[in-house]
A and B are shown apart, each in its own frame.
Chain A
Amino acid sequence: MALVPLTIALPLVIGALLYLLPREDKVLSRAIGAIAAAATFAMLIAGRDAQWSVRWLARPFTAAFHFGATPVGFWIALLLALCTACAIATTRVARTRDFVALLLLLEGTMLGLFLARDLLVFALFWDLMLLPVFFGLLSWGEHPATAWRYFIYNFAGGLTLLLATAAFGVIYGSTDVIGRAGAPLVGSWAPWIFAGFAFAFLVKTPIWPLHTWMPPTYSGLPPPMVAVVSAVQSKAGLYGLLAIALPLLPNYVHQYAVPLMVLGAISLIYGAVVALVQNDAKRVVAYSSLSHLGLIVIAIASLNPLAIKGALVYIIAHGLFSAALFMVLGYVEEREETRSLLRLGGLGWKNPRLAGALCIAALAALGLPGLAGFVGELVILIGVYQAGYTWPVVVALIAIIIASAYMIRLYQDVMNGPEVEDLPVRTDLTWVEGLAVSPLLFALVALGVDPAPLLRL
């Protein structure tokens, strides 16, 4: 059944067709974009168990355009469709039509990545998904150098992924391996192949010390796109670890578990501490991402089944709350024309709905029980402890305390405190904005109360 490739093609085709609309059109392109993204959401659910495959290469190794959702990929793809629909609905940037088209292309390329069952197709979409963000940074970013840094770092990762994929294919004979129970790869080449994969995945996540492209990228991108990038594109590396490194190269994940955990732990603490002292609201969230994703890397490296389940919950939860945070902060920035925590303040007194949205997202980020972030953190910590690693748990608990500090500081500085006097009264969350951000917040609450669908995998 061709439902799966259609799901990938839909945003790509609609995105390309959007360029036929008049350049100044805003409302129609937003509406078409949001509907297309929502349609992919429905198609993903309908095509959950569908697979589709067409032969690509016979030599030097067999490869196929093989698409179909793995259990983990399915949830991330759903997250992607949801975030894209929400982000497009409230896009208010210059050249809206082009921006919406670019977001749809980004969605399509990332859907291809998360639904790929073939390593070579995975590598293809890996490079492809960099392009929309690169163009986004060039056209809407604050500084062109950011675009270069993003592209060079991630493309370097893409190249090692390519080399590792080629070597893997030659030795394994096939790259049609994702989500298929096969023998793990062994031999003298295997460590190098693992190194190639790991470098690409850790750059993309990112993990300290490969993270330096991330803060400027996140603060430079317009809010709708950074919501999608931070929520979903950063998960490509983690998905790669879960769906490729774990099943195919488990020995090496095991062998390098401690170095991976150390890197994860450094990211965890470093991100949290830096987030505490940032004055740019978007950078606070960017560094908090670094911190949260470090925890997920620790979870995966522990190889404990429970921790890995927790990792999936936290992947989804982090996607939801970081998308919500970036979107709400985008709304704030549109109203106040600044995102400096030193200048902002008092917005919450007259805009309760805006404050509420930011509050829920921030509480999810700091791990309040009842919201999805808490479930993920708790399950990961139990799992890592079960696996016999005590120190990462201690480090993580410290980071979680710091997380409360920086998230509360973020909320305080934006919503509470003295009102900014030189600014007129701002409108509260409009109903479109509310409609756009509420699915994310609702999902955070729902998965926090009942995470069973994610834990059952």
Chain B
Amino acid sequence: MAKVMGLTGNEAVAYAVKQCNVDVVAAYPITPQTIMVEVISQYIYDGEMDAEFICVESEHSAMSACIGASLAGARVFTGTASQGLALMHEMLYIASGLRCPIVMGVANRALSAPLNIHGDHSDMMGSRDCGWIQIYSENSQEAYDWTIQAFKIAEDPRVLLPVSVNIDGFILSHCVENVVVLEDEDVARFLPPRKPLITIDPTKPITVGAICLPDYYFEVKFQQVQALKEAYNVIREVNREYEKLSGRRYDFVEAYAMDDAEAAVLCLGSTAGTAKVVARELRKEGKKVGVVKPWVYRPFPEESIIKALGDVKAVAVLDRACSFGAPFHALCSDIIATLYRHGKDIKVFNCVYGLGGRDITPMEIRSIFEETLETARSGRVREYIKFIGVRE
């Protein structure tokens, strides 16, 4: 009999971390991630989880300590958000460059200025080129499931890259939902203790973090490119294995009502939930619309996106972050590049929404869908970049 718990996104991630037998957690509290580390601290202080909790003095030190612990061979977790992720920025590149399979929960939040504590994707999008595998969850269940899978993906010797599991700040981090959880023994079987290929074990000394000048640096970076490619296969394998264990099927992309869709909305995270509800209503009205939700943002799942989009004629790509001065915002740029590369003539427009936690309503999503249908009919994009719900 499956066990169901009422968990917020933060608690779901923390519960998964406990079941994953993590050795070291180094973290600094920041809204809206705070509860994630509070719950983990409670587990450790209550003796329910055998881990070292390093309550560091900054996020920069959090990621630094994680890198050190990971190199020593420990299974490592941290969590952060917003300014904290920005402060870690330097270390994110070192974590991936040194091939540390760290897992990080990110309760996505807007970046200052002006100061704002609410959800948007500016934080992770600002670090999207940091060489991490990046996963976005739609709800607490997905946050729980992906956190467990993240360790398995990260630690696979073919990958050895850090993974971020993203949950929308407040919308997911603080919202209680039913989460079907696995038994501890099942998680332990799925994810045995980490067996690192190489560590800094001083009885077999190695040098880590050498200076690589122009004669070697490029090759090291190229290996990271290859590892992210390799991650495709590993993510697929882990998804299949996890499906056998949990009965829940994950993939690079979720396609909702896309089979005969003429137009689609493509978005990350919790907004996909609202978009699905709206798509269902529109379907009842006979309008052929669907939703495409990339679970995996890096490595960017081009093939899966092309497959999910199928024969749609128009797609609206929703970005919850601004790439200031860019021709399109981050997710949309990736989608347009993907369509170009695959020779697909799908009309695309970009909707920037929800910055600083501003709600996006079903009504707004409905009007976006209607515009995609209009674009599909006319074959002409009326406005390439729209700002949804902003007072101009």
Binding partners A and B = no
Q: B residues touching A (Cβ–Cβ < 8 Å)?
A: none
